[in-house]
Amino acid sequence: MYLESCLCCMGGMAVSQLSLFKLAWPIFLELFLITLVGFVNVFILSKYDSVAAAAVEATIQILWNFLLVFAIISMGTSVLVAQNVGAKRPEEIDKVAAVSLLFNAILGGIASLVLVIGGKKMLMFMGIADNLLSYAHTYLLLAGGFIFFDAMLSSADAILKGFGKTKQCLAITAFMNILNLIGSVVLGLGVAGIPAMGVHGVGIAAVCSKGIAVCSALVYLFTKLLKLDILRHLLQFPKTQLKQLLKIGFPAAMENMSYNMSQTVLMTIIIVHLGADAYITRTYAWSIIKMAFLFSLAIGQANIIMIGQLVGARKFEEAEKAGMHNFLIAFGSAWIIGGMLFLFRYHLIGIFTTDAKIIALGALIFAIDALLEPGRTFNIVFIYGLRGAGDVNFPVIVAILSMWSVTIGLGYYLGVILGFGLPAIWALMLVDEWLRGMCMLWRWKSGAWKAKIMV
């Protein structure tokens, strides 16, 4: 079988020679390109109409909550594939891949229908202002109507990363985002006589590029790693693999879902209670801040592959040392990046606007975030490491308790009721990240995750 020979060729490399650098640099570039497209889209739309930029950001928050549904399957997929690669069990990898691709295809189709039919009501429920609603709904019909592309890409990407094929993930993402960037500029702003289409053009560029990426990912999977006959496993449905995917994926996705839902609630609070300036500031600042923690996120995603394969091979001590080593690299880098956010805070917000009020508020947000980023690394690196080992329940419990009591509860009290505004909300996000981070460090040090292996 092709997969068996692939695993044999990987040999010991799968569990001992996979270095952080080899895994992380393609992931970093992949994440950078994805974030760059978001940044460029906001920049393009801010030149077209600042209202359009804010509208698309609100729509993206809704889309992220749907993407987290697909993550239930894909997060479990990456862990189970990595652990089975470490344990050298090719038949189990086939079953996991088949179930993952099928279920995310079904979920993606359902999500597309829901967003097309009910998307406008969701935007209205969020309290989107009338001047934002038209732009937001236009983008949601396009990006949401074809969100099944994201579902399929999520599963394919998880399978590839479980094998440690991060360079291939990078190649697919790079191709997708180059197409997206070109399309956004040409269609969004209008080039060479093509009329500027604004939000509509940016949405078309996103959908077409993702469709091409899905085709590319599936072709690589079924020509290099898997065979089409893996679908035979669906005839005698692999219930065990589905249960394992859900056992890992559901709690893992719930932690991310709690974060994104809390951000959606915060966005609603900002829109309804703090006004347009605060919301536009949040949109511009977040576009930069997403880039600030990309390095930590790349290390976290590399960590889940390393820990998954090491745990699958029963190399627990090596996994524990690798997790701490990876965290320390991310933690040190976060302080440097935070310092840059602080030093260049006025220049960074000035990229998007010349409005003095927004620049002053945005600079203050960057100053607070400079201290937040090191705390974020605990949650990124250790949570990914815990997931790789199959320890997924503890992070979600801590996340729900901390995010909703500190960020939302205290954030609303200080930011809205006491009138301290957006800076108070951001300061409480800082407290939440550090509080949860200390809990994740304790969990990793405890070694309780060593008993959570799934294979």
**Contact call for residues 164 and 85 (beta carbons, < 8 A):** yes
Cα separation, 443 vs 324, whole angstroms: 12
406's tokens: 């500190």
Residue recorded with tokens 């006589």: 193
Question: Exposure pattern of 421-453 as b/e (b: 16+ CB <10 Å)?
Answer: bbbbbbbbbbbbbbbbbebbbebbeeeebbebb
Number of other CB atoms surrounding residue 270 within 10 Å: 25
H-type helices in 378-420, by residue range? 383-389, 393-402, 411-412
364's tokens: 């203050």
With the C-alpha atoms ordered 419, 425, 430, 431, is the resulting torsion angle positive or negative? Answer: positive
Q: Which residues contact 329 (CB under 8 A, 6 or more apart)?
A: 20, 299
Cα separation, 44 vs 11, whole angstroms: 47
DSSP H or E segment with residue 112: helix 90-125
Nearest to 189, CA basis, from 178, 198, 200: 198
Letter for the amino acid at 73? I
pLDDT score of 237 = 73
How far CA 114 is from CA of 21, 128, 141, 163, 446, in Å, comes to 41, 19, 10, 33, 43
- In this structure, the chain runs to a length of 455
253's tokens: 């996705």
* Structural domain spans, the chain: 2-6+19-451
SS3 of 138, please? helix
Q: Print pLDDT tens along the chain (455 aa).
A: 444 444 444 444 444 445 777 888 888 888 888 777 777 777 777 776 767 777 787 788 788 878 878 888 888 898 898 888 887 888 888 888 888 998 899 999 999 999 999 988 888 887 777 777 888 888 899 989 999 999 999 999 999 988 888 889 889 988 998 898 888 888 877 777 788 787 888 889 989 999 999 999 999 999 888 877 777 777 777 778 788 888 888 887 788 778 878 888 888 888 889 888 888 888 889 888 988 888 899 999 889 888 988 888 888 989 999 999 999 999 999 999 999 999 999 999 998 888 889 999 999 999 999 999 999 999 999 999 998 888 888 998 999 999 999 999 999 999 999 989 999 999 999 999 999 999 999 999 999 999 887 76
Residue recorded with tokens 């236009």: 138
User: In terms of C-beta distances under 8 Å and separation of at least 24 residues, what long-range contacts does 146-149 make, across chains too?
Assistant: 146/112, 146/207, 146/210, 146/211, 147/63, 147/66, 147/67, 147/108, 147/111, 147/112, 147/115, 148/105, 148/108, 148/109, 148/111, 148/112, 149/108, 149/207, 149/210, 149/211, 149/213, 149/214
**Contact call for residues 305 and 161 (beta carbons, < 8 A):** yes
